Amino acid sequence: MYNNLLLREENGILIVTINREKALNALNTQTMLELKQLFEEDAPQRAIHGVILTGAGPKAFVAGADISEFLTLDVEKGREMAQRGHDTFFAIERFPKPVIAAVNGFALGGGCELAMACHMRIASENARFGQPEVSLGIIPGYGGTQRLIQHIGKGKAMELLLTGDMIAAPEALQLGLVNHVVPQESLLDKAQEILAKIAAKGPVAVTKVIESVNAYFQFDAFGFDTEVTAFAHTTGTSDFKEGASAFLEKRSPAFQGK
């Protein structure tokens, strides 16, 4: 059923592994479509009490989007890509059972956005987080400009979004971006421990907590709409084409501000 996702159930927990290790689990179109199908159609039918989302291999949770797909983007295709990402990550954020991101390495760009869409984040000691999209001449398109503020506040979020800097797991913990930092070999155990504790609580209450907490951050939906439009705009710029090409060619970009 899935080409890029590995699924297994263990003690009532669905463990989902993004399985593109050679590409550092980058989010290509196929992977995004599979995540959307999983959380909208498949997972709701399963008798589970929680989901753990992680990446294959020891290096990356998700190291970003698949930049090779970006070179064909224009404004309209950019809008469609961003909207598809928003729809997918909202399906995760609004899933009625707790979803924990087990961040086992790099969580950059779309990977950081994916982790933030989950209800909690457990990071391994080697995890790194960041939104480096401005280095390509675009902006985060899957909710990053909105959710990063929700997690760490406007000032620090603005710094990370504008500089594209990465932060290590201890700083992510200090800022409130992650709930726990553990050795990599303990990552899934910690996530399972938390979900087991939640499973002992009232299932309806758990669902309503998720629903209510999400509602707090939906007082102004225009921010997400603004991001879709802004992302679409940047995909039509010469700077973006230069940034993406430079990334793939492993050289420094020469942006011209247009």
Between CA 187 and CA 110 the distance in angstroms is 21
CA–CA gap between residue 58 and residue 240 (Å, rounded)? 30
- Rounded Cα distance, 226 and 253, in Å: 26
Give catalytic status of residue 21 as yes or no.
no
Cα(148)–Cα(77) distance, integer angstroms:
24
pLDDT for 221 equals 56
Percent of the chain with pLDDT over 70: 98
CB 97 within 8 A of CB 48: yes
Residue type at 226 in one-letter notation: T
Q: Which of 76, 133, 159, 249 is catalytic?
A: 133
Positions of the chain with pLDDT lower than 50, given as ranges? none
- pLDDT for 69 equals 87
Residue pLDDT, tens place only, 193-223: 999 999 999 888 899 899 888 888 776 556 7
Alpha carbons 243 and 252: distance in angstroms, whole number: 8
Homologous superfamily, domain 5-185: 2-enoyl-CoA Hydratase; Chain A, domain 1 (3.90.226.10)
Catalytic residue among 93, 113, 242, 249: 113
Catalytic residue flag (residue 40): no
